[in-house]
Structure 1
């Protein structure tokens, strides 16, 4: 990619701003136009008999932190960005799986000392609670936020040369757009194979690249590959 090329950031705010800073530091022009928006849910959180917390996104951490001031419980995070969010918000003990939901489940199974509470999206991409229960870990979940779809500006699709996709749901949103407005020259960078799956048949195979590991740093490395 040429220096200064526009890179479309589709993830929801506020995470989009952090990604934009990293894209700009690499010498490209960030174009923030999310396909999803985060809406916090007003719910009560009961931590009685909870020994640890599990988060599959930074949005889950931030939504939990707005609802409850407890920071003493151990936190298990799916990846580095989620772990950083927990540390920034004052959680004292944070462990990162540095992977996907299955990696997080393995981490929790090996380290949790009691019942686990997962706090996350109303429509999660993976069933962490189910995985933990299958492994004999007492776990339950609570939805602390939801993501709602939003339409990007019409000019975004024609301006961007590369698009970053962090989630299967964002990928499904882009797939719906491309089904009506093909963009044969658009390069698509995906966080994982699951994220890339909804785009099958809608873009040229060589136009889609998948990060070698499911974290943003690995995906951003593809910008200069």
Structure 2
């Protein structure tokens, strides 16, 4: 990909800003115009009998940290970015699955000593609580934030007539972009997705060969695709 072509960061802030910094560090122009926005919820947290916390996103960590000052409970995180967010919030014991929700379920099932509380999105991409219960782990969930779709600017959409790359971190963002492309096709746009599940909504809508997903659900692996 030409370094002169912009890289559209579609994920929600504040994560979008961190991604943009990494993209610029690789020599690309970063275009920050999220398709999603995160809003914290005023949730009731009951940590009685909870022996571990589970997080499937940095947004979940940050929203939980605003609601509670509990930092002594062990944390299970889906990946390195989420684990890093938990450490930054002051959690002392953090384990990372370095993968997806299924990997996180395996990690928790093998390491949890009692009931687990998952804190995450109102509409999660995967059912971690259900998966844990299926493995015999006592688990409950609480929504601490919600993700809302937002429309990109007309300026951003106009730039997609020329070669560009869209970075997609979630199925929700991919579905939002797919809906836009049905109305405004962008034949010069390339799509780099965090995982196969993220890429799925774009199949059949994007140009053949324009959709690629990372070999592992990790942003470093995603950004490595920029030079491919």
- TM > 0.5 between the two? yes
Partner residue in 2 for 1:124? 124
- Contact 2:51 2:115 (C-alpha < 8 Å) held by counterparts: yes
Partner residue in 1 for 2:178? 175
Distance in 2, matches of 1:154 and 1:38, equals 21
Deviation of 1:127 after TM superposition, in Å, equals 0.2
Give structure 1 stretches of 5+ with no counterpart.
none
Give structure 2 stretches of 5+ with no counterpart.
none
1:40-59 matched pairs, under 5 angstroms? 40-59=40-59
Distance in 2, matches of 1:76 and 1:47, equals 15
Aligned-partner SS, 2:125: coil
1:83-162 matched pairs, under 5 angstroms? 83-160=83-160, 161-162=164-165
Deviation of 1:43 after TM superposition, in Å, equals 1.2
**CA displacement 1:67-90 (0-9 Å, x = unmatched):** 000000000000010000000110
Distance in 1, matches of 2:44 and 2:213, equals 38
Deviation of 1:4 after TM superposition, in Å, equals 3.8
Distance in 1, matches of 2:214 and 2:158, equals 24
- Of 162-171 and 148-157, deviating more is 148-157
**How many residues are paired up?**
225
Aligned-partner SS, 2:47: coil
Aligned-partner SS, 1:99: coil
Q: TM-score, normalised by structure 2?
A: 0.97
Distance in 2, matches of 1:157 and 1:209, equals 21
1:198-217 matched pairs, under 5 angstroms? 198-217=201-220
- Contact 2:203 2:211 (C-alpha < 8 Å) held by counterparts: no
Partner residue in 2 for 1:81? 81
In the TM superposition, structure 1's runs of 4+ consecutive aligned residues that sit over 6 Å from their partners are none
Distance in 1, matches of 2:17 and 2:124, equals 22
Partner residue in 2 for 1:12? 12
Aligned-partner SS, 1:176: helix
Deviation of 1:200 after TM superposition, in Å, equals 1.3
- Of 219, 223, 227, 1:224 maps to 227
Q: What is the root-mean-square deviation in Å for CA atoms of aligned residues? A: 0.8
Partner residue in 1 for 2:35? 35
